Structure 1
Amino acid sequence: MKTTPSIHIAGRRIAADEPPYIIAELSANHNGSLDTALKIIEEAKIAGADAVKLQTYTADTITLDCDSEEFQIHGGLWDGKTLYKLYQEAHMPWEWHAPLFARARELGITIFSSPFDTTAVDLLEDLDTPAYKIASFEAIDLPLIRYVAQTGKPMIISTGMADAEEIEEAVEAARSGGCQELAILHCVSGYPAPAADYNLLTIPDMMRRHGLVTGLSDHTLDNTTAIASVVLGASIIEKHFTLDRSGGGPDDSFSLQPAELMELCRDSKTAWSALGQVDYGRKSSEQGNAQFRRSLYVVRDMNAGEAFTLENLRSIRPGYGLAPKHLERVLGKRSSQPIKRGTPLSEALLA
């Protein structure tokens, strides 16, 4: 019998036959304030998210302080900045990690992070992170993936911009590095990304190709795409999360606010529970309404021995008589006894 792929993070089983695992991505939405970062974790817990995720890098570990053309950003949300300036503004100070991990554990919400180099992995290991997430832009950094894999922790790899070959290489790097619990996320690395770019039918194809827990890293502006992905087998949903979409930070504008995250947590689980299994039987919620189906009723008083015709027998509601499919068989047969108008037809009334 084929088993359902699964991983475990902090004791939570994640698989297609479990409710979706919801990750609130804090990213740069702290906007330079530790208090804001702490509040985001608290609101993620209130909303019902399973986990909150950080990003662990500094401007110096992710790029160079360089003003040449290749390091300039043109267009989009971050137009006019250099890579170094963007990441200097957006990064999570490393000294914040310990209090953020402590607060999440105090609240009972799982916390882990995306490392962007080996020194970030070392920091997260010191904090005993329960899992790792490889960001889409780092999915081609196979040495980093192998370094994370050797920790033995569960790993989630986001696949934005990666083609089929690059995804296969990332999966192989994780496996060869020793990762035993691996998940992959379908992703479009646009900020925001239009729903039409998501091609969600890719999710079941990824599941068939790789046999892994598969989910969605969603950068659309609402929850529709994420909830739809659950129907196609997504076991993990990751969304950026902020206290205020108009906060002015580098990621605020495409992030969910608290009420929206709460709706995602609720509605994705509703979508998952609606999937159920193949079942053509009558459901418990239908039992009381079976009486309102049609059935065969005598609609005129009849004498014993009188023939059933379209004048004295009809298919009407309620459903206590013989099913309408018996009409042609019954027409022309005779009654076994006198029958009053409004009587449901039964086999006992047929001579």
Structure 2
Amino acid sequence: MTPTKARVGINIDGRSIGPGCPPYIIAELSANHNGDLNTALLLVDKAVDAGADAIKIQTYTADTITLPSDEPEFQITSGLWAGRTLHDLYEWAHTPWDWHQALFDHARARGITMFSSPFDATAVDFLDDLGVPAFKIASFEAIDLPLIRYVASKGKPMIISTGMADQDEIAEAIAAARGAGCKDLVVLHCVSGYPAPPADYNLATMTDMAARFDVLTGLSDHTIDNTTAIASVALGGVIIEKHLTLDRTGGGPDDSFSLEPGDLMALCRDARTTWEAVGRIDYGRRSSERENVKFRRSLYFTQDVNIGETITPDMVRSVRPGYGLAPKHLDEVIGSITTQAIHKHTAVRRDMFAAPDTTSSASEGNKT
């Protein structure tokens, strides 16, 4: 399979993302502002302090995402938001559009990238006018191919989350993005449970998705700790997205399955440590091992040996430290002739011995 540009890597707001780059950590603000702009601005600060690469918001209104209906199919009857209608939930959870400029300005001032998930074409245009460096397609919108095509037409990097999408739907979403001109794409494996149990994640799917669709992959993680997200880095994930809150017990729509600032800081640290540990294929000696060569075995002379002597088994042993020839060369050493005088307890080197001169012995035999 020939890698596309996306598999080689993408760039968002000057930050390279892909193979050979540390994982890109996105703090999802989502509804965790709980209706307070000052809380939203403080969450930006907390994302910066934790070491996140980006903070993401969501751009919709209740009326752009659903209908104000009380019909049964619009009622939420289980889970965190049971008892509300869809319209009630999104009226409660949305980030007011008149906050966006203040949020983007604050993010720029703090030196962190901000972008958003649009949920309809009006949100796409609004965000594009704000100069967002990238767009995110939320999991439940992964089947909205017209929306994906419209976002792709803006010519900016895209991240598509795949919660609830099956293999065919993921293929359709990727094809829609690429067909509409998206050159820089990352697809996030996701489970749309709030919270989601780690066992539901089946992270092997992420590596299969990367190979099957020839895309960079990452993880949108709704588990309540960092274990799953960190494991995704070891499987090649280049992006991690986690929700951020000031207080998990705050009572907001997404608080209960979000990370608090200290947890996000730990995620940023541990994900990057994992990336460093995965590293590259390397069978050579590591810098941390160099001083330990004295604990390896090698060949050493056990006694003084004169120049021109035949080396016998009692003259050489395999011992620690490891500064001499490896023990596998013992058969070459035994029976060879020393080329110099050797002091006992000296490491065996190749320049200290030579093979016996069998040619001269054969000539002497022919004369008799």
TM-score after normalising by structure 1: 0.91
**How many Å apart are 1:129 and its aligned residue?**
1.4
CA separation of 1:33 and 1:308: change in aligned 2, threshold 3 A: same
CA contact (8 A) 2:229 2:240 kept: yes
The separation in 1 between residues aligned to 2:347 and 2:143, in whole angstroms, is 71
Q: 1:291 corresponds to which residue?
A: 294
CA separation of 1:298 and 1:262: change in aligned 2, threshold 3 A: same
Query: Structure 1 residue 167 and structure 2 residue 184: aligned?
Result: no
**How many Å apart are 1:334 and its aligned residue?**
7.9
The separation in 2 between residues aligned to 1:18 and 1:331, in whole angstroms, is 51
CA contact (8 A) 1:5 1:211 kept: no
Q: 2:312 corresponds to which residue?
A: 308
CA contact (8 A) 1:14 1:213 kept: no
Q: CA RMSD of the aligned region, Å?
A: 2.4
The separation in 1 between residues aligned to 2:93 and 2:143, in whole angstroms, is 22
The separation in 2 between residues aligned to 1:205 and 1:306, in whole angstroms, is 61
Q: 1:199 corresponds to which residue?
A: 202
What is the CA deviation profile of residues 80-131 of structure 1, one whole-angstrom value per residue up to 9, with x for unaligned ones?
A: 2222221111111111111111100111111111111122122212212111
**How many Å apart are 1:191 and its aligned residue?**
0.9
The separation in 1 between residues aligned to 2:274 and 2:60, in whole angstroms, is 35
Q: 1:270 corresponds to which residue?
A: 273
CA contact (8 A) 1:25 1:52 kept: yes
Describe the SS at the equivalent of 2:35. coil
**How many Å apart are 1:333 and its aligned residue?**
6.5
CA separation of 1:323 and 1:59: change in aligned 2, threshold 3 A: same
CA contact (8 A) 1:25 1:241 kept: yes
Q: 1:108 corresponds to which residue?
A: 111
The separation in 2 between residues aligned to 1:335 and 1:302, in whole angstroms, is 11
**How many Å apart are 1:253 and its aligned residue?**
1.1
What is the CA deviation profile of residues 146-198 of structure 1, one whole-angstrom value per residue up to 9, with x for unaligned ones?
A: 22122222211111110111111111222232323222111111111111111
| Larger gyration radius, structure 1 or structure 2 | 2
Query: Structure 1 residue 246 and structure 2 residue 249: aligned?
Result: yes
The separation in 1 between residues aligned to 2:25 and 2:151, in whole angstroms, is 22
Describe the SS at the equivalent of 2:280. coil
In structure 1, what residue type is equivalent to 2:179? S
Describe the SS at the equivalent of 1:217. strand
Query: Structure 1 residue 140 and structure 2 residue 143: aligned?
Result: yes
CA contact (8 A) 1:308 1:335 kept: no
**How many Å apart are 1:38 and its aligned residue?**
0.3
Q: 2:78 corresponds to which residue?
A: 75
Q: 1:282 corresponds to which residue?
A: 285
Within the candidate set 52, 55, 71, 1:52 is matched to 55
Identity rate, percent: 63
Q: 1:29 corresponds to which residue?
A: 32
Describe the SS at the equivalent of 1:137. helix
**How many Å apart are 1:78 and its aligned residue?**
1.5
The separation in 1 between residues aligned to 2:214 and 2:316, in whole angstroms, is 58
* Deviating more after overlay: 182-191 vs 4-13: 4-13
Describe the SS at the equivalent of 1:344. coil
Query: Structure 1 residue 12 and structure 2 residue 15: aligned?
Result: yes
CA contact (8 A) 2:163 2:191 kept: yes
**How many Å apart are 1:308 and its aligned residue?**
3.4
CA separation of 1:346 and 1:214: change in aligned 2, threshold 3 A: closer
Describe the SS at the equivalent of 2:247. coil
Describe the SS at the equivalent of 1:274. helix
Structure 2 unmatched runs, 5+: 357-368
Number of positions where the alignment pairs a residue of Structure 1 with one of Structure 2: 349
* Deviating more after overlay: 249-258 vs 72-81: 72-81
The separation in 1 between residues aligned to 2:250 and 2:164, in whole angstroms, is 28
Structure 1 unmatched runs, 5+: none
In structure 2, what residue type is equivalent to 1:165? D
The separation in 2 between residues aligned to 1:209 and 1:93, in whole angstroms, is 39
1:141-156 counterparts in 2 under 5 A? 141-156=144-159
**How many Å apart are 1:23 and its aligned residue?**
0.7
**How many Å apart are 1:318 and its aligned residue?**
1.1
**How many Å apart are 1:320 and its aligned residue?**
2.7
TM-score after normalising by structure 2: 0.87
The separation in 2 between residues aligned to 1:123 and 1:307, in whole angstroms, is 85
